[in-house]
Amino acid sequence: MIALIIVIVIVALLVIYGIASYNGLIRKRNQVENSWSQIDVQLKRRIDLIPNLVETVKAYAAHEKDTLDAVIRARNAAIAAPDTPAGQAEANNQITGALRQVFALSEAYPDLKANQNFLALQEELTATEGRVAYARQFYNDSVLGYNNKLQAFPSMFFARALKFDKREYFEADEASRDVPKVQF
């Protein structure tokens, strides 16, 4: 009789542990998906601001057509980019490079630099860049926690059996990692 009770208790504990592990994996996966959607929201916000910025710059720097066309191409590529961390990271890097060129134009055109619309859009994009950076960090932290849970003993057995897949990080390209060169 005691042996039967011990077996029932062990089975019950295993079932409880299995349920807790499964729920933990689900929580971590949902956190990764939520954090990815936060990146998506901020990237879409940034994409929506770009046409206003381009129109403002066009009024002052009409002969800088190539730079403005590069921004529009980068925006269109971002809209069409696959909804994966790698696809969005590539599109993000293109937009960042194009926006750097536009902001460099403001140095060449003092009237543009003093334009309130341009300044407001530049400030809005700068704030959005901060939000994108925070969202990327939160996403990568969420992926780290999720991937750790998938690989930790003994939850890795449940993860494999239930086909939970490892997630990829949102990574910057090599050009974004370069330290800017400042010359006086």
pLDDT, tens digit, for every residue of 35-94?
998 888 888 888 888 888 877 777 766 667 777 788 888 888 888 888 888 888 888 888
DSSP 163: T
Q: What is the 3-state secondary structure (H, E, C) of 29-93?
A: HHHHHHHHHHHHHHHHHHHHHHHHHHHHHHHHCCCCHHHHHHHHHHHHHHHHCCCCHHHHHHHHH
pTM: 0.69
Q: ∠154-147-136 over CA atoms, to 5°? A: 155
Q: Is 74 part of any domain?
A: yes
- For 162, the domain range is 2-170
pLDDT, tens digit, for every residue of 96-149?
888 888 777 777 777 776 677 777 888 888 888 888 889 989 999 999 999 999
**Residue 32 belongs to domain with CATH number:** 1.20.1440.20
Closest to 175 (Cα-Cα) out of 100, 93, 119:
93
- Domain count across the chain: 1
Q: Is 176 part of any domain?
A: no
Given a contact cutoff of 8 angstroms between Cβ atoms, the answer to whether 72 and 54 are in contact is yes
Closest to 149 (Cα-Cα) out of 136, 171, 166:
166
Q: Is 183 part of any domain?
A: no
Q: Is 178 part of any domain?
A: no
Q: Is 179 part of any domain?
A: no
Q: Is 91 part of any domain?
A: yes
Q: Is 77 part of any domain?
A: yes
Cα 35 to Cα 32: distance, rounded to the nearest angstrom: 5
